[in-house]
Amino acid sequence: MELKKAIDQISKDKGIDRDMLIRTLEDAVRTSVHRKYGEDVDLEVSFNEDTGEIEVYHFKIVTKEVDNPTSQISLEEALSHDPSVQEDDEMGFRLNVGDLGRIAAQSAKQVIIQRMRDAELEIIFDEYKDRKGEIISGIVQRRDKSGWIVNLGRTEALLPKEEQIPREHYKRGDRVEAIVIDVRKEGRGPQVLISRAHRDYMGALFKREVPEVDEGIVQIMGIARDPGSRAKVAVMSRDRDVDPVGACVGIRGSRIQNIVQELRGERIDIVVWSPDIATYARNALAPAIISRITVDEDENLLEIVVPDDQLSNSIGRKGQNVKLAAKLLGWKIDVFTETRHAEINEIGHGLEQLSSVVELPLEQFLEAGYTSIEKINQASDQDLLDAIDGLDAEKISNLRSAINFLGADASKTKKNDDDA
């Protein structure tokens, strides 16, 4: 009964299915017997619940002449065991498991230990693969070439370098929180990958700190992060009486501050989501003031025009504000000051007039590097002929005349402005 108690105890302590443990034990004994007596031995191995022992039976065929003693038994010898036996019957003889020998017993033990370890690792894998997207806590254990190894208790996790918050330093024994982003099967056991830089980690923190997010009243529509520096989180409310920004910020900023503190001071902008991309863009680029927005759906491009004194606000330090806004929206964003936008439009309008005069596409001038009237005017006739297909002497003459006309018109406009 000692074996039965051991099985029950291991099953309880390790959380391993009892039936699977018994099958593992039976397989281990079967393997050991085969190693001692040969692979052609016909065996039946089973665990007897009543006696608490592993029973092994060796089966042989009853024959008149014995050619293979391992698989056959003579009719004469069989009759001494069972007077009713007949030729071609199968007889089972119980083997004493204790007689397996030291090597066979050691082999059985090793197989059992390995099967138990495999079963335990499978349980751990199943446990953590269902925890993707969940925040877990562990103790920093050691540095690895790929990052930090974090002890989770039953297993270890890897916090890769690229998933760490920049300029965040750890030492052995530190407790760290992160989100599970992947669980892989490795030879040494499950490989749990965790992250503190992933956008989903921020989403999980909001879910933990903001009840309205956890309950689904306030929904997070998008997250863009520059980990450790700045982030933008787009939110919307499913209840008109609940302000999504206020819910996320909390009374006196208590909720958002808990998240900021966990992320080592990462600045977080809460953005109100809108189905209208222009409105959404205005919200995402705050605190910059936007003069107007042009939406190019074919190119997935937003052309943003801001007052001259709002350029730095809209772009942000090292372009961070506009980069995060573009990532949040999933659109490309070009930002222009009102002055620069006016200049570009004026130049573009003039070039369009010139291309119309010579009946050539504007793209041909731009591809040849002639992006302004001034550049065309400074070029020689031969340079233009070499660079732009479709030009001839007559068209160049018309081009020069048009440039003179546009130049005189511009001078006249400037003089009128000066007189005013």
* Distance from C-alpha of 272 to C-alpha of 251, rounded to nearest angstrom: 18
pTM, rounded to two decimals = 0.62
> What pLDDT, on the 0 to 100 scale, is given for residue 413?
36
Residue 203 lies in a domain: yes
Q: Among 126, 144, 159, which residue terminates a domain?
A: 126
**Token pair listed for 182:** 């992947």
Q: Are residues 174 and 206 in the same domain?
A: no
The position carrying tokens 């999933």 is 330
> What pLDDT, on the 0 to 100 scale, is given for residue 347?
59
> What pLDDT, on the 0 to 100 scale, is given for residue 112?
67
Residue 56 lies in a domain: yes
Q: Are residues 209 and 184 in the same domain?
A: no
Domain residues for the domain of 369 are 358-419
Residue 293 lies in a domain: no
**∠ CA 242-292-281, rounded to 5°:** 40
Residue 307 lies in a domain: no
**Token pair listed for 23:** 């099958």
Exposure of 6 in the CB half-sphere (CA atoms within 13 A): 11
Contact 32, 109 (CB under 8 A): no
- For the chain, residues with pLDDT lower than 50 are 101, 104, 408-420
Q: Are residues 228 and 204 in the same domain?
A: yes
Contact 295, 277 (CB under 8 A): yes
> What pLDDT, on the 0 to 100 scale, is given for residue 319?
85
> What pLDDT, on the 0 to 100 scale, is given for residue 287?
84
Instruction: Give the list of residues 6+ apart from residue 268 with CB closer than 8 angstroms, or none.
Output: 202, 230, 231, 232, 233, 256, 259, 260
* Distance from C-alpha of 254 to C-alpha of 271, rounded to nearest angstrom: 18
Q: Are residues 28 and 57 in the same domain?
A: yes
Q: Are residues 12 and 48 in the same domain?
A: yes
Residue 311 lies in a domain: no
Query: Measuring CA to CA, how many Å separate 417 from each of 344, 407, 412?
Result: 20, 15, 9
Q: How many domains does the chain have?
A: 4
